[in-house]
Structure 1
Amino acid sequence: MRFTADYAMTGEKDVKDLIRAYPWATMISPGLTVSHYPLLLDEDADGIVLLGHVGRPDEQLHELGRHELVVVFYGPSGYVSPGWYELPTGVPTWNFEVVHAYGVPEILDDAENLRVLEKLVDHFEDPLPHPFRMRATLANAAYADRIVRGTVGFRLRVNRFEAKNKMSQDKPPQVVDRITEALRKEGPYFNPELAHRIESSRQR
């Protein structure tokens, strides 16, 4: 990813915040093997450590654990029209937030993989009024023990990352206000999530 100083996101906290908010990730290995899975942060670890799993035989396609791969996380993004600037000149652009995280996965044994799967399920079920639990009943527990063998869990310590937060930082405040206002209007580019992210970026 091309480095742009104005948009570079270098803080570990900002990167972690994006991963927490947008855990759906793209995994890319040498040879252009690409997969998509939700990943979680290991909140007990120092640095940035990702927890996840792949289905078999994805671990063979990725040669998981044998080399470095990159995991891409995407925040909000969207089109920005120069017509919203109300300036004499302008060009269209695309605002976005993205993290490229690099590391070599460590493959987990079945017991630890099951704990990671439970943590993943609990993470997404907790907001629900009646959350599902993988091992809440004997039948569910037995089923979970079986399906864990169809997945390969991993822990990935991020050894380096590239991150970019391009949210109209190069525009004067009044133009940014017009952009966020336009993104909140009903129409083809209605994108209140992006508008909120642009405003959050101004406060950093």
Structure 2
Amino acid sequence: MYIPKYSEVHDLKLIKSFIEEYSFATLLSQTSEGISANHYPFLIDQEGEDLVLWTHLALGNPQWKNLSQSMKALVIFTGPHSYISPVYYKDPLNVPTWSYTAVHATCACEVVKDSQVTKDLMKRLVSHYERKNGTNWNYELPEDFHEQLLKAIVWLKLRVTSVEAKFKLSQNRDKEDYLGVIEEFSKRTSENDKDLLRYMKLTMPEKMK
């Protein structure tokens, strides 16, 4: 990913938090027929100094077979983004741009074969999204039905070998322009725009304060 210095993020705590918040991501892998890209929910763990991602695929989805052979993948997490109009700047002689947030995780992959681990992962995944969704489905299923469902999916463990984070949020502008963008987004009410403003404040350069 092309990342100018001003938009590069190195704070691993912030990156991990971002992945947890925007955990529905795109998984890309190379196949003999080209690039395979699919979209899955992910869990994230810390194992020592390594980040580990977990996701599951339908058994009929050939991507897991390709991953078990190539063992490499790229996971792309995207967060809030927005069009930025030149009217937010002091000088009208400007052009529009786009503010956005993204994390790319290059991973080494393996298929999870332990049935108890896959059961625990599925329960954890459901619990995670039930909380985020504000619901409380308790995952109580008849055991035979549960086993049948688990046989129809494949879990992957993806150990992150490198991570790139780009939060392109007007950090390259002068202070007046930067604060003009913040002022504009402070008026907005959509969740996307409020989240973008939050990340602008989290990554605000010292020169803007």
TM-score normalized by the length of structure 2 = 0.85
Contact residue 111 and residue 157 of structure 2 kept, 8 A: yes
d(CA) in 2 for partners of 1:177, 1:51: 39
| Aligned counterpart in structure 2 of residue 105 of structure 1, from 109, 114, 122 | 109
d(CA) in 1 for partners of 2:187, 2:96: 18
Give the superposition deviation at 1:24.
0.6
Contact residue 96 and residue 167 of structure 1 kept, 8 A: yes
Give the superposition deviation at 1:132.
1.3
Write out per-residue CA displacement over residues 47-88 of structure 1, whole angstroms, 9 at most, x where no aligned residue.
211011111222446612222110000111111111111224
Structure 2: unaligned runs, 5 residues or longer: none
Kindly report which structure 2 residues correspond to 1:1-204, keeping only aligned pairs within 5 A, or say none: 1-30=1-30, 31-43=34-46, 46-60=49-63, 63-67=66-70, 68-109=72-113, 110-126=115-131, 131-134=136-139, 136=140, 139=142, 141-185=143-187, 191-202=193-204
Contact residue 24 and residue 39 of structure 1 kept, 8 A: yes
Contact residue 29 and residue 62 of structure 1 kept, 8 A: no
Moved more, 75-84 or 37-46: 37-46
Contact residue 53 and residue 113 of structure 1 kept, 8 A: no
Contact residue 107 and residue 160 of structure 2 kept, 8 A: yes
Structure 1: unaligned runs, 5 residues or longer: none
Letter in 2 for 1:79: Y
d(CA) in 2 for partners of 1:152, 1:62: 10
d(CA) in 1 for partners of 2:11, 2:195: 22
TM-score normalized by the length of structure 1 = 0.86
Give the superposition deviation at 1:97.
1.0
d(CA) in 1 for partners of 2:117, 2:37: 24
d(CA) in 2 for partners of 1:25, 1:17: 14
* Structure number having the greater strand percentage: 2
